[in-house]
Amino acid sequence: MGSMHYLAVGLGILFTVSGLLKIAPIQPAHSHLVSKFGSYAKVFPLKVIGFQVAADMYRSLVGFAEIAFGSVLAFGRHDWRSISCISLFVIMVGAVQTHLAIGDQIAEMFPALILGGLLLLLLLHRNGLWGKAHLD
């Protein structure tokens, strides 16, 4: 087990906890996320095609996705970890797009940028999920 395995487990646990904070009423993080997702729902990425969700539904969907994909990334089989990593990367791209759309400072989107970069590293590194070491 190399460093990429430990990175996958660490990121998976981090995303699982992040998803739990979005769903479970653990204060003060939950109330902060509830207020933030109110503004995030106004710039929902699929709004351009006419698909709009309520802020609570948006927060819950992102939370459940982070719990599910984070758990699989931390403790799942290798092929499922790849799918989970790609899914979490898409969520992080959506998070950055949301922050850009509402005009947040770079400090607000910094966690999504760092986590997205780590997920990309996990996917593309030689010893990562899609690396040459696993394809041989």
Q: Is the dihedral of CA 68, 72, 74, 80 positive or negative?
A: negative
In the block, residue with structure tokens 């998976």: 12
pLDDT at 135: 46
> Mind listing the pLDDT tens digit for each residue in 34-78?
888 888 878 877 777 777 778 788 888 899 999 999 999 999 887
Residue 61: CB atoms within 10 Å:
13
How high is the mean pLDDT of the chain? 84
Q: Is the pLDDT of residue 134 over 70?
A: no
**Strand, coil or helix: 82:** helix
> Mind listing the pLDDT tens digit for each residue in 15-38?
999 999 888 888 887 787 888 888
Q: Are 104 and 97 in contact (CB under 8 A)?
A: no
Q: What is the pTM of this model?
A: 0.85
pLDDT band at 132; cut points 50, 70, 90: low
